[in-house]
Structure 1
């Protein structure tokens, strides 16, 4: 007989939700996880072969303590699952010395005492001949950065959540979340559940699930592309090619090593910009103009990719907040609804630490990590 009363219901089991479900189950909570789609689906923001993991973070020093904790927890996830999750490749932030990325990445490294190197354009090319930056370009090299694979990560976290007793339901759509005098009621297209707390980690679908809260989240459509490089594929494999993010031409581009080896392509995309979208009707087709935009960005910077052959693409969705920082914590001081949303296209690297913090908020009322940067109330007048 199915139990319909729980300590915590986690709504959305992508990257953030699966991390929360696992950590809550480990802490001894009776957990129900609800996912509208199937396990490790490709309709939100937790897919696309690879996600970058930094330490000298270009979003600023305030993120580094949570990143350090996440690095420890990535290792613990690997030990428990028996699978390698984090691939250390090194990574570069590139751009003008007085731009947006370089000062922030350098401040993170220097203020937090992180290993890093500051390179001129010639030094970039000397270390990685695949890159041909202009003379006025500089780079912050982070030797401890790398990538994880989102589909694998979600699958592992879901599996471990179930191992620790969480009950996970897929292909079950949440229709309503409402606080009651004794907790929270969650109505789905199958039945109604009751819980002491609810964690809403539904990404771009979070605003629609909590319409009364007017969450400050905008949904943007983003494109990920994979190329077959001109020349030797070996030059773009992990160990020979870093994770990179590059400010130039009024945009911020990024790319990863070939995470699937010689059987896959080399990933690149544009982190900045994006097209407003409805997550239920977003255009999944990628047109030639979108491919050419990224090829044009790459052509003078990483010629082997810019002149390479376009292989495939995928669309993902950013759920952006106005300041690009996440929403993590109770929706209000007295609310039993916890938000884990507004991931703004850069939360995946933090996943195990976010999951741990959510479990601490539920069980202890506070998190060990400082989450003030992500407090939902910062947007409340």
Structure 2
């Protein structure tokens, strides 16, 4: 094997790609990870300190087995890296009774035997006085939910992968790739040409450059997150306040207890995302997005509705049905990809890295990936 030859090349070392590098490297494979920016950059969808992990999943019960495995792996990976990656705070889905979100989360709990509790408005107010919810809102409490320290998680995966011999090259994006006659791949960057038996593509908002078959399916959008001055931090500290998904007339919002930042973090509105070309350098949230977040805080979390301390934008790649795509490139089984996670993918990254390693090794996964096939979008 030459110096430019690898068992597997991973294109994109963010949430999914860093996990794939670790799972591949610990199997004794020679791994090259290529990242277009610095490690832990703010141009994609993994920055901003934290990402929610929920076991009760209103997006569909099909996700629950994978997120359960991800939960296990976040704990294990943190222990191996000597970092606390998984913070179990409990999670709340909050929505008007009958709107479907809480009911769907409840169904996923019933389908998979997840510990949960249904809460009415009075009980939500008693347990979590940081909320001021409209009459008629109900909640589903899931004690196993929490958040993952997202940037630390990427660093942990990369460090562990490097400890097993993986090479990680930053500021070196994959320019193009092609299959070879012997069933491998050739990858070209501005710095050189590399060969490998397999290719894993986890390039997020840039996925259509590497997998043109996705061009008519995937769109990229900007999502806003912000950290705001908190008048009563004792209401929102970790150990007292949960992670949550809140459905109100202004949209769907998500938030966290205080963590490594003096401000209260709120993101959204989920369906107020704005189209964005990933090649744009500016990730600043639009005034409209910031106004909607501040309106949500003022009405429903008034003691966290102070002035903004930090505002950021995230780049999401979105599918029409908002479900993931995990598959091989059409006609090229040695090239697999995972992306287009529509703004709810980070929590799964530890498990999806393992899935990609399994697909690269054997072409199979322990999970049913049929719901995440690209073929579902075939005309």
Q: Is the 8 A contact 1:33 1:168 kept in 2?
A: yes
Q: TM-score, normalised by structure 1?
A: 0.95
Q: Is the 8 A contact 1:122 1:135 kept in 2?
A: no
Q: Matches of residues 189-204 of structure 1 in structure 2 within 5 Å?
A: 189-204=190-205
Q: Matches of residues 42-57 of structure 1 in structure 2 within 5 Å?
A: 42-57=42-57
Q: CA deviation at 1:215?
A: 5.8
Aligned to 1:295: 294
Aligned to 1:154: 154
Q: Deviations over 1:35-56 (max 9, x none)?
A: 0111111110110111001111
Q: CA deviation at 1:309?
A: 1.9
Aligned to 2:209: 208
Q: What is the distance in 2 between the residues matched to 1:220 and 1:67?
A: 24
Q: What is the distance in 2 between the residues matched to 1:43 and 1:193?
A: 25
SS of match in other structure, 2:144: coil
Q: Matches of residues 1-381 of structure 1 in structure 2 within 5 Å?
A: 3-182=3-182, 183-211=184-212, 214=215, 216-230=217-231, 232-249=232-249, 251-260=251-260, 263-270=261-268, 271-281=270-280, 283-306=282-305, 308-332=306-330, 334-381=332-379
Q: What is the distance in 2 between the residues matched to 1:148 and 1:164?
A: 23
SS of match in other structure, 1:57: coil
Query: What is the root-mean-square deviation in Å for CA atoms of aligned residues?
Result: 1.6
Q: What is the distance in 2 between the residues matched to 1:209 and 1:333?
A: 14
Q: Is the 8 A contact 1:228 1:311 kept in 2?
A: yes
Q: What is the distance in 2 between the residues matched to 1:64 and 1:356?
A: 16
SS of match in other structure, 2:272: coil
Q: CA deviation at 1:364?
A: 1.6
Q: CA deviation at 1:203?
A: 0.0
Q: Is the 8 A contact 1:257 1:267 kept in 2?
A: yes
Q: Deviations over 1:300-341 (max 9, x none)?
A: 2111123x2211111111101111111112123643210111
Q: What is the distance in 2 between the residues matched to 1:352 and 1:62?
A: 17
Q: CA deviation at 1:298?
A: 2.1
SS of match in other structure, 2:175: strand
- Cα gap change, 1:74/1:294 in structure 2, threshold over 3 Å: closer, same or farther? same
Q: Is the 8 A contact 1:172 1:189 kept in 2?
A: yes
Q: Structure 2 unaligned runs (5+)? A: none
Q: Structure 1 unaligned runs (5+)? A: none
Q: CA deviation at 1:285?
A: 2.8
Q: Deviations over 1:97-134 (max 9, x none)?
A: 22142121111111111111111111100110111111
Q: What is the distance in 2 between the residues matched to 1:312 and 1:78?
A: 27
Equivalenced residue count is 377
Q: Is the 8 A contact 1:221 1:274 kept in 2?
A: yes
Q: CA deviation at 1:289?
A: 3.8
Q: CA deviation at 1:288?
A: 4.1
Q: Deviations over 1:15-46 (max 9, x none)?
A: 00000011011122211100011111111011
Q: What is the distance in 1 between the residues matched to 2:343 and 2:105?
A: 17
